[in-house]
Amino acid sequence: MPLANRTIDPVEEEQLLDAIDRWVVREVQPIVKDYDHADKWPAKTVEQMQDLGLFGATISPEYGGLGLPASTYSKIVMRISRDWMAVTGIFNSHLMLALLIEKFGTEGQKLEWLPKLATGEIRGGLALTEPDAGTDLQGIRMTARPDGNGYVINGTKTWISNGVEGHCFALLVKTDPEANPRHKGMSMFIAPKQEGFTVGRKLEKLGYKSIDSGELVFDNYRIPADNLIGGEEGQGFYQATGGLELGRINVASRGVGLAEGALKLATDYAQTRKTFGKPICEHQAIQLKLGEMVTRARAARLLTMDAAAAFDRGERCDMEAGMAKFFASEAALENATESMRIHGGYGYSKEYDIERLYRDAPLMCIGEGTNEMQRMIIAKQFIKRHPV
Ligand SMILES: Cc1cc2nc3c(=O)[nH]c(=O)nc-3n(C[C@H](O)[C@H](O)[C@H](O)COP(=O)(O)OP(=O)(O)OC[C@H]3O[C@@H](n4cnc5c(N)ncnc54)[C@H](O)[C@@H]3O)c2cc1C
């Protein structure tokens, strides 16, 4: 089943979302605060996500996955992110690796890796960023030099989600550092942890706790040519950007969940907290905030569903996914800030959940292309679609 043009029976989708909702309420809500504050790896939650099939959510059934359409996957991410955005990163980054293998890999690579990724037996992520190159991906320095029937890789990646706990990564390198244009010298490998691959350190962060972000060091790391995605050098940049539509729908979905979560916390609090003899939700200043928050959350959801529907129809949707990612991540940040203000002094307390959402929200404005870049991408696409 191709990655696009997938459908799901509405009843089946409802049952799946219902199961996710019940799991979040029963298993996630009670533990999130402790795990987040301790920045502890949620081993049991990961096992449960494996049982729910989330590590294979977008992998085709022929390789053992659920083969969900982007619209269903997006709704799952939204639901979980309402309570714990960070935990969705554990399967989302992993599914980016799977996407690259399924979309660009050889049949041999698909058969070798996808079934193990679908069950979560092997978990992984996407390793693009380096200490000196994030937005400017073509500026990476990691090299892969031919050696016998394989390659030797040297260099450092940073900020890699699942870097410490994961087993295998889609690794962007330069196979021809002198190439001009630069992107023609870039290639992508499937890189499992083995000799020559070490985790430099786990990075300390403002939020996005419990999921590990690691620095990955490659020191004379030897890898067979069979691990070159698609079997052809020079395709890495094209492959890295080829996963962005789904990646942006995923980040947008996290933003929607977080914007809705912040709204729910604010709405609940505003109905119980009283000042001047009435609940604060009866003060106009709070109503103005809630009115804007609910509108932002709704608009973010609609934009994200629009992008996911275009993806599912097999249409090019980089502009739609970019708009969804940009708007939903800003909605998450604004709603988290406003919700915190509605909580007054308690919003600043670690005993209330809103402080976590406030720390988690900014990441969505950075990941999968910063929102500065996103606006330029949207504008360029829009101009291209509307020539004079
Ligand atoms: C918690 C976390 C998890 C992450 N997970 C991963 C992961 O799993 N895999 C991975 O590969 N990476 C990951 N990243 C890295 C992330 O993708 C990068 O941080 C992001 O792409 C930005 O790159 P940078 O940090 O190098 O910023 P820079 O590229 O140095 O940008 C700095 C600032 O300049 C702006 N800017 C840059 N270029 C331009 C331009 N041409 N025009 C206008 N403004 C510009 C940017 O928008 C930004 O505001 C993660 C980051 C974080 C914080």
pLDDT at position 235: 97
Residue 358 — φ and ψ, nearest 5°? -65, -35
- Token pair 């459908």 is found at 7
Q: How far apart are CA 316 and CA 38, in angstroms?
A: 42
Q: 286-321 as b/e, with b when 16 or more CB fall inside 10 Å?
A: beebbeebbebbeebbebbbbbbbbbbeeeebbbbb
pLDDT at position 162: 97
Q: How far apart are CA 129 and CA 217, in angstroms?
A: 12
pLDDT at position 3: 82
pLDDT at position 117: 98
pLDDT at position 173: 98
DSSP 281: G
Pick from 102, 58, 302: nearest CA to 190: 102
pLDDT at 1 over 60: no
Cβ 205 under 6 angstroms from ligand 1: yes
At residue 2 the predicted structure's pLDDT band, cuts being 50, 70 and 90, is low
Share of the chain above pLDDT 70, in %: 99
Least confident interval from 186-190, 225-229, 303-307, 314-318: 314-318
Residue 189 token pair: 């490998």
pLDDT at position 5: 80
- Domains and their CATH numbers in the chain: 10-119 (1.10.540.10), 125-233 (2.40.110.10), 243-385 (1.20.140.10)
- Among residues 102, 130, 233, 368, which one is catalytic? 368
Nearest-10 Cα torsion for 209, 200, 135, 91: -40
* Ligand 1 centre distance from Cα of residue 218 (Å): 21
User: Cα dist. 368→42, 52, 140, 244 in Å?
Assistant: 24, 25, 16, 7
Q: What is the pLDDT of residues 33-52, one digit of tens each?
A: 999 999 999 999 999 999 99
Cβ 161 under 6 angstroms from ligand 1: yes
Residue 191 pairs in a beta bridge with 169
pTM for the whole thing? 0.96
Residue having the nearest C-alpha atom to atom 50 of ligand 1: 159
DSSP string, 63-77: GTS----HHHHHHHH
The answer to whether 360 and 207 have CB atoms below 8 angstroms apart is yes
DSSP 277: T
**pLDDT (average), residues 162-177:** 97
In a 3-state reduction of DSSP, which class is residue 384? Answer: helix
DSSP string, 202-248: EPP-SS--SS-EEEEEEEEEEEEGGGBGGG-TT-HHHHHHHTHHHHH
Q: How far apart are CA 219 and CA 96, in angstroms?
A: 25
Cβ 374 under 6 angstroms from ligand 1: no
Cβ 159 under 6 angstroms from ligand 1: yes
Q: 221-240 as b/e, with b when 16 or more CB fall inside 10 Å?
A: bebeeebbbbeebebbbebb
* Ligand 1 centre distance from Cα of residue 124 (Å): 20
Q: How far apart are CA 123 and CA 103, in angstroms?
A: 18
* Ligand 1 centre distance from Cα of residue 366 (Å): 6
Cβ 371 under 6 angstroms from ligand 1: no
**pLDDT (average), residues 165-190:** 97
Q: What is the pLDDT of residues 120-145, one digit of tens each?
A: 999 999 999 999 999 999 999 999 99
Q: What is the pLDDT of residues 197-246, one digit of tens each?
A: 999 989 999 999 999 999 999 999 999 999 999 999 999 999 998 888 99
DSSP 122: S
In a 3-state reduction of DSSP, which class is residue 189? Answer: strand
What is the residue-averaged pLDDT of the chain?
96
pLDDT at 91 over 80: yes
Residue 368 token pair: 């999968």
Residue 125 token pair: 């992520």
Q: What is the pLDDT of residues 320-375, one digit of tens each?
A: 999 999 999 999 999 999 999 999 999 999 999 999 999 999 999 999 999 999 99
Q: How far apart are CA 4 and CA 6, in angstroms?
A: 5
In a 3-state reduction of DSSP, which class is residue 190? Answer: strand
pLDDT at position 288: 98
178 catalytic? Reply is: no
Burial environment of residue 143 by CB neighbours within 10 A (0 to 12, 13 to 18, 19 or more): middle
User: Cα dist. 57→66, 171, 292 in Å?
Assistant: 5, 22, 33
